[in-house]
Amino acid sequence: METIETNPRGPKHLRHGFPKDFIFGTATSAFQELAHCPGGEAKPSSRFAKSEVLLSIESGTLNFVAPSPKFSNRSATRLQGWEKATNHYYKYKHDKRLNREDFRDFADLCFEKFGDRVKHWITLNEPWTFSFYGYGLGTLAPGRGGSSNYKLSALKEFMPSSRYIDPQAFMQKRTVTTTFGDLGKKLSGKERGGNDDNSGDPGTEPYTVTHNQLLAHAEAVKLYRDKYQKTQDGKIGITLVSRWFIPRTHSTSDRNAAERAIDFTLGWFMDPLTVGRYPHIMRSIVKERLPEFKEEEAHMLKGSFDFVGLNYYTTNYAAHAPNADTRNPHIVTDRMVRYSTELNGVPIGDEANIFDNIVAIIYPFYMLIFSTMLQGGSSWLYVYPKGFTDILLYIKTKYKNPCIYVTENGLDEKTDATLPLWESLSDHKRVCYHHHHLCFLKKAIREYDINVKGYFTWSFLDNFEWASGVSVRFGNIYVDYDDKCKRYRKLSAEWFKLHLLNEDSNSESSCPEETDSDSSDSEPEEAKQES
């Protein structure tokens, strides 16, 4: 671990404002960390595991969300006394059916080997991403989703900038070289022998895949509760990803579009997990293409979580978009939503990210940074922390205030090889991003009594992002890919250590809601959506 002097000054955010049992931590992914380092996954996992433990202690980050390939049984023993949430990645067949019995057996092995130390289990991470991008758009493994023209049309008409695909390259079939090969060839089908790849049914397969993922999750949870939970005293849940959606206009059609957007993303999973069936709007639109749960399956699904993990990054506007091609159903057009990141030329968050005047006076430098940081390093990531409160309040209201862990939240910055190292470590924007999201999270807990128990940043280290490779960086720790993957703490890591571990109740905080008690008297209007 190399050290470069950084100055952790910045907006103050105090630990004392959160519940005493609230967990702060960071999330990581073995493959994404090692994919671009010399030797890739062949790198000795035990050495990386030990170094990350030391890095976390030095950075003041005392909790991990980590996948199993990184940690052996011995590594788990080293982490005794830590809280370690584990998402056990399972490589299953890409034939539309996730074999529930195989998944249950895999989970059984994990519970048996690690359950005496791991106290928080996550069965699946972002199952929506796998179903939608793997079987709807075909831009992630296994790359199904119909012909390339079909994919292009769907994305061009209805998709905003996406974390998992570069829309410009996608639409133009431009050559984009990634770790997975030439994206342009993949999209055109030429990589498979010159013929357009017509495999897949994007109007059916995403729904089938999600159905099987949910049932596999329920099988694993049932096994854990029946066989292990009483003696191991752990908890088990699932991690879901969703943006918040704001109606583009006050029209009824756009309000309905925002409701459909959240139902086709978050509700697609939360409704079965809480009531044993898919959202009504999905059933009315997708009809026979949407599988139904048998009575015993619905019973097994309902309540099959002790907590829900939420990955939140940004918010989109949602507008009604009529489905012009009902003969060729597609998961994208089923939603009848057009997404956007700006309104009348103004990016989302232009008003939401401005500090309160008092805070602006106290921290003018950071006010300047934050008011100009509407976007991260990726085109999809616009900064809208108010959406954080809105989506949490929505979950509380609709799903009876379940226990929530924010398992991912973060901002990326573009990799710039021309910058000196010290400047690359000065991630002021990331500090401000986390500061504001933590302010809104504190508000959600204190004012709306939302049952959030922990907050994990994405990510611990700079890593390989599925669509962007290493061209963007999310980490609190900088990775020098040109120098044997040496790692350096960024300003954000020092900031977390200095401010989040500060429990001095007499110190000042720079959260707007703590400096102006009249600023938040009512619920966020967007959070009042009903499905």
* Among the listed residues 114, 121, 144, 122, the one whose alpha carbon sits nearest the alpha carbon of residue 132: 144
Give the Cα separation of 25 and 12 in Å (integer): 18
The catalytic position among 219, 297, 408, 526 is 408
The catalytic position among 33, 52, 126, 205 is 126
Give the Cα separation of 202 and 190 in Å (integer): 20
Q: What angle do CA 434, 68, 113 make, to 5 degrees?
A: 130
182 within 8 A of 175, measured Cβ to Cβ: yes
**Runs of H (alpha helix) within 375-490:** 386-399, 421-424, 428-448
Q: What angle do CA 360, 366, 369 make, to 5 degrees?
A: 115
Give the Cα separation of 269 and 423 in Å (integer): 42
3-class DSSP assignment, residue 398: helix
Per the annotation, the verdict on 83 as an active-site residue is no
Residue with tokens 């990184």: 70
Q: 339 forms bridges with which residues in the sheet?
A: 318
3-class DSSP assignment, residue 54: helix
What are all long-range contacts of 339-342, with beta carbons under 8 Å and residues at least 24 apart?
339/158, 339/159, 339/160, 339/245, 339/261, 340/160, 340/248, 340/316, 341/160, 341/161, 341/316, 341/317, 341/380, 341/382, 342/317
3-class DSSP assignment, residue 113: helix
207 within 8 A of 291, measured Cβ to Cβ: yes
Tell me the CA distances in angstroms from 412 to 76, 472, 478, one per residue in order.
29, 6, 12
Secondary element (H or E) of residue 85 = strand 83-87
Give the Cα separation of 436 and 513 in Å (integer): 11
Q: 316 forms bridges with which residues in the sheet?
A: 245
Per the annotation, the verdict on 157 as an active-site residue is no
> Which amino acid is located at 242 in the chain?
S
Enumerate the active-site residues.
126, 408
